[in-house]
Amino acid sequence: MFIESLRLHDFRSYHQVLLTPPRGATVFVGENGTGKTNLLEAVHLCCLGRSHRTANDREMIRAGTETCAVQVRVQRSDGADTVGVRLYAPSEKKRKVLHINGKTASRTGELMGHVTCVMFCPEDLDIVRGAPQGRRRFLDMLLSQCGAGYYYALQTYNSALKQRNSLLHAIARGEAASSMLEVWDEQLSQAAVPVVKARQYAAQSLCQLARGHYAHIGGRENEAFALRYLGHLAESADPAADLLRLLHSRREEDLRRVTTTAGPHRDDLLLTLSDADMRAFASQGQMRTAVLSLRLSEVDILTQRQHEQPLLLLDDVLSELDAGRRIRLLERIGGIQTLLTCTDLSDLTGAKPQAVLRVRLGEILPEDMH
């Protein structure tokens, strides 16, 4: 898969932009705050229907305007796909509009699989050092891009979870009987099955793939990277039956805490280096290498599932790597259409990009590399 064209209209710092990147690596170079990341964000928005850095659509609309639009056209082995997203300011009282090949899509899930990307950004270090929610989001975004079925399964599970928690609150207020939980216990248990099974598969695949990527990029044979799926149902062969038993056994605790204490909404990933939890001791370089290894494993999984390489978006990653890791990373991404950002041309040492573009506020110009 490769981008034929990327169009932006009143998106972030840009009024009008049309980019036609080459199939290899395109580098956007410029000072911090000039809008380099905005270009990667626009691609991400077309892939997943959401930004990677904000949940507030208004932040993506250029100051002084009430709407913005982005559109990406990609060429796949089976033909071309065009995906567009239009956002509106709250004052417009209109909802986000999604377009796929000229037709309006009614649900975000319909975007999945048309344009796929894997993105690394500085905030990704939280996958290693942050709360479990970030690691669940990492898994969910990967699996959603593998197929819309997972996206809708997760929506179904979250809807059942919301209903069960609302019932717990009603019981706490004396407005409902605890016996009513039986219905939602059953529904939540059934809804958990596709979520858990997909995460079990993903964790196993990621562990196998990321180990090899880490060893190559890190260049240290004595550092063995691994990950393990943690959760009430991580080892379960029958998630529905096991969760139903858990919900029954934890009912008193759920009523006391007024929330559902068991289920895949509490899952986590344990990331280890030489069998030790990375959160406890890993350096910034080791964390960054681990996250890059996970992102490259995403590329492998998406390529295997869709028989198509995804787009690779690397936001300010090269400057934080030593020369050896930088060169070994660049070896790994050869052949994939990649959009990179950096602040200095010296960050490109060892790289052979097909295009280098200088980004200034509101404009993008070819960069003279000589």
pLDDT in tens, 171-219: 999 999 999 999 999 999 999 999 999 999 999 999 999 999 999 888 8
Per 3-state DSSP, the chain is made up of helix, strand and coil in percentages (nearest 5) of 50, 25, 30
pLDDT of residue 134: 93
For residues 348 and 326, what is the distance between their CA atoms, to the nearest angstrom?
A: 9
pLDDT of residue 290: 93
* pLDDT class of 335 with cuts at 50, 70, 90: confident
pLDDT of residue 359: 92
Give the strand pairing for 311-315 and 117-120.
Answer: parallel
Whether the per-residue pLDDT at 132 is higher than 90: the answer is: yes
What is the CB neighbour count within 10 angstroms for residue 179? 8
CA-closest candidate to residue 120, choices 359, 287, 295: 295
Whether the per-residue pLDDT at 361 is higher than 60: the answer is: yes
Give the residues across from 142 on adjacent strands: none
CA-closest candidate to residue 121, choices 217, 59, 53, 70: 53
Maximum Cα–Cα distance across the chain: 75
Whether the per-residue pLDDT at 102 is higher than 60: the answer is: yes
- Helix or strand run (H / E) with residue 308: none
* pLDDT class of 370 with cuts at 50, 70, 90: very low
Whether the per-residue pLDDT at 36 is higher than 60: the answer is: yes
- Residue percentage of the chain with pLDDT more than 70: 99
CB distance 116 to 308 below 8 Å: yes
Q: Amino acid identity of 14?
A: Y
Q: Give the distance, in angstroms, between the CA of residue 177 and the centroid of all CA atoms in the same chain.
A: 40
344-359 confidence digits (pLDDT tens): 887 777 677 888 999 9
40-81 confidence digits (pLDDT tens): 999 999 999 999 888 899 999 999 999 999 999 999 988 899
Phi, psi of 357 (to 5 degrees): -120, 135
Whether the per-residue pLDDT at 139 is higher than 80: the answer is: yes
Q: How far apart are the first and last CA of the chain?
A: 31
* pLDDT class of 304 with cuts at 50, 70, 90: very high
Domains present along the chain, CATH in parentheses: 123-296 (1.20.1050.90)
To 5 degrees, how large is the angle CA 36–CA 17–CA 105? Answer: 100
Angle in degrees, 0-180, between the axes of helices 132-146 and 181-218, rounded to the nearest 10: 90
For residues 21 and 2, what is the distance between their CA atoms, to the nearest angstrom?
A: 9
Q: Amino acid identity of 93?
A: K
